[in-house]
Amino acid sequence: MSEQMQVQLDDRHPTDHEPSTIAAESTSCSGDSTSSSTSSSSTSSSPSSVSSPSRTSSYSVQIEKTQVSASHFRKIRILGKGDVGRVYLVEEKQTKKLYALKVLNKKEMVKRNKVKRAFAEQAILSNAHHPFIVPLHHSFQSADYLYFCLEYCVGGEFFLALQQRPGKVLREHEARFYAAEVIAALEYLHLHGLIYRDLKPENILLHQSGHLMLSDFDLSVRSPAVRSPTIVHSSISSLFSAQPMLDTRSCSDVRTNSFVGTEEYLAPEVIRGEGHTSTVDWWTLGILVFEMIFGYTPFKGTNRHDTFDRILTLPLEFPYFGGNPYFNGTDASGACKSCIRKLLHKNENKRLGARAGASEVKSHPFFKSINFALLRHMRPPILPSRQARPIDAVHFKNIKESVSFELEDDHSPSSSHPPSSPIPMPLNDKNTESSTDDPFADFDSVTVIRPSQ
């Protein structure tokens, strides 16, 4: 294994959201493949937003320059902690609305070479508008921190919800529901030339409605050129439907070499370091479906080297019973196993989704009962408690904040404020054309206005 392999890996099941990304630019492709939206509080703009809104080139959202700062929010509690930042449950003082505020420490980002990732995450989140992608409401910076003000997902991490199920597993139809929502979100991203690259239960949040939302786009990468969807004429032997399909892999031509992702979820081609395409997202979907149904990931080894070795060489095996209390001695269905097996094809060119992207995955018999256009109207299997108040954040782990962070103390609205001590320039992380020495000079403070639901 190369040295490069060791560098950008996340540990499995960190205690929080660890932000980490690759830079991205804006795209000029549009089209939302899913019909409706889930955000319950997405159209408000901050009381202190300024300047006239400009229509962005894509994704159908409006972006305004903003003067929002940390002092507009009241901190309620910490929700998550990572190496360069924390996520807080906050209340906007004027509207009393709850948000999740992701606070990234500029110095730590420079130290850990994660500046580009924050820019990428902002570019993606500020343009995205999809029911299964966490909406960004504002992003801004102070002298020492970057802030992402996100929709608060009351149901918390899908990972925790899964851990709390008997046997840490879901019934097959429940797993199918979440897999379908993930496919819808990945289809949207791929159509916009983005590869998500970090699908795992920790990066899936549960909205108040019970529908899922993908979060953490810091590992996502964008295609430099986005091509329009094309029609693929299927051959029955390789696809499940004789109907022509829409090839939604707008980013299929992107090959990227970065070694990123989460150990147990890494695709073989990522480990081999040969470059990878959007097909890596279908591999990670296969691992996710397996984990939801059987309660563990299929290639987990005794250590990192062993795990990689298994991913590269070990044939996929299904447990008969898998410790899953719902199966009552029966097995996962043939369609379910076939879908997982095809998603976990070690040859990326033969993997389900390699030919026509999401439409190919949706056409697998495992998803026959799913009406993708009506997903948002289906009743989710896990519903966040209706008794508990959202402000009590009952679906989150209790995390100790070693050093208390006070939003009230951080008044400076922009990078024009000098940092409390100089931020060193990143060594090989030149993400901007800026003439200043501030690597965050081009981080825009924006308010995102999404179309009303």
Given the rule CB under 6 A, which residues bind ligand ADE? 17, 79-80, 87, 100, 134, 150-153, 205, 215
Tell me how far, at minimum, the Cβ of 367 lies from ligand ADE, in Å: 27
Tell me how far, at minimum, the Cβ of 310 lies from ligand ADE, in Å: 30
Nearer to ligand ADE, 134 or 370 (CB): 134
Tell me how far, at minimum, the Cβ of 323 lies from ligand ADE, in Å: 29
Which residue has its beta carbon closest to ligand ADE?
100
Nearer to ligand ADE, 75 or 345 (CB): 75
Please name which of 126, 133, 138 lies closest in space to residue 73, comparing C-alpha atoms.
138
Residue with tokens 């009230």: 408
**CB atoms closer than 10 angstroms to residue 129:** 21
Tell me how far, at minimum, the Cβ of 143 lies from ligand ADE, in Å: 23
Nearer to ligand ADE, 99 or 259 (CB): 99
User: Distance (Å, rounded) from C-alpha 246 to C-alpha 187?
Assistant: 11
What ranges in 192-321 are assigned the alpha helix state H? Answer: 268-272, 279-294, 304-313
**CB atoms closer than 10 angstroms to residue 232:** 18
User: Distance (Å, rounded) from C-alpha 17 to C-alpha 104?
Assistant: 11
Does the annotation mark 16 as catalytic? Answer: no
What b/e string do you get for 64-75 counting C-beta neighbours within 10 Å, with b at 16 or more? bebbbbbbbbeb
Nearer to ligand ADE, 76 or 312 (CB): 76
Q: Which residues pair with 231 in a beta bridge?
A: 246
Tell me how far, at minimum, the Cβ of 316 lies from ligand ADE, in Å: 31
Cα distances from 101 to residues 81, 136, 259, 349, 415, in angstroms, run: 12, 10, 28, 40, 18
Please name which of 131, 134, 127 lies closest in space to residue 99, comparing C-alpha atoms.
134
Q: Catalytic residue among 144, 198, 218, 410, which?
A: 198
What ranges in 314-364 are assigned the alpha helix state H? Answer: 334-343, 358-362
Tell me how far, at minimum, the Cβ of 17 lies from ligand ADE, in Å: 5
Which distant-in-sequence residues (6+ apart) come within 8 Å of 322 by Cβ?
Answer: 169, 293, 294, 295, 332
Q: Which residues are known catalytic residues?
A: 198
